[in-house]
Amino acid sequence: MASFLLLLHILPPQPSRKQTQKISPAQAMDHLVVFHKSCRSLEEHLENQKGHRQPYLLASGTHKQAISTYYIVMDKKLIPCLGTTSLAALDELFKVHFVFSVSYDNALSNMYTFLQTTVYGIDVETTKESPKVKELRAKFMNSS
């Protein structure tokens, strides 16, 4: 998970016309993953969900360093992740966007675009990338 937080810091969210204020990479992380104490009701979390229109990860465990289960939350529904690691859960979250044809959250667009073009190699020639994404992808591809 730390690697994705670092990626959010390297590729911060770009303000859009809809956004009145710029959000920080730490705030963007809240759009990616939400921690949920395993002793609390999952249904209660879904009922109280506000502000998340795009799919995100719900990490459930006794504390943030001991996550036992990951879920993808989409349209107030839980999709259990098959993977038990944060990397596997984030991989599944990325793929949900393609399976259900869902656009990226504005706060996470740079990160997802980098993953799409650099890691997965999907639509590299046709995807519009921000200058930061282009620069990081060029550095990443030239260093190998």
Is the model more confident about 56 or about 9? 56
Contact assessment for residue 31 and residue 108, using Cβ atoms and an 8 Å cutoff:
yes
Q: Which residues of 66-92 are buried (b: 16+ CB within 10 A; e: fewer)?
A: ebebbbbbbeeebbebeeeebeebbbb
Strand 77-80 and strand 67-74: the pairing is antiparallel
Q: Mean pLDDT, to the nearest integer, of 25-35?
A: 87
Question: In the chain, where are the structural domains located?
Answer: 2-12+22-142
Q: Is the pLDDT of residue 102 over 80?
A: yes
Instruction: Give the pLDDT band of residue 1 (cuts 50, 70, 90).
Output: confident
Identify the pLDDT of residue 72.
97
pTM of the model: 0.88
DSSP string, 91-134: HHHHHHHHHTT-PPPGGGHHHHHHIIIIIS--STTTS---HHHH
Contact assessment for residue 68 and residue 60, using Cβ atoms and an 8 Å cutoff:
yes
Gap between the Cα atoms of 48 and 132, Å rounded: 35
Query: Which tokens go with 88?
Result: 């596997």
Contact assessment for residue 50 and residue 65, using Cβ atoms and an 8 Å cutoff:
no
**Residue at 47: amino acid letter:** E
Identify the pLDDT of residue 17.
62
- 24 by DSSP, 3-state: which? coil
Query: Which tokens go with 44?
Result: 């209660």
Q: Mean pLDDT, to the nearest integer, of 24-52?
A: 86
Identify the pLDDT of residue 116.
96
Structure confidence by residue, pLDDT tens digits, 107-139 = 899 999 999 999 999 999 999 999 999 999 999
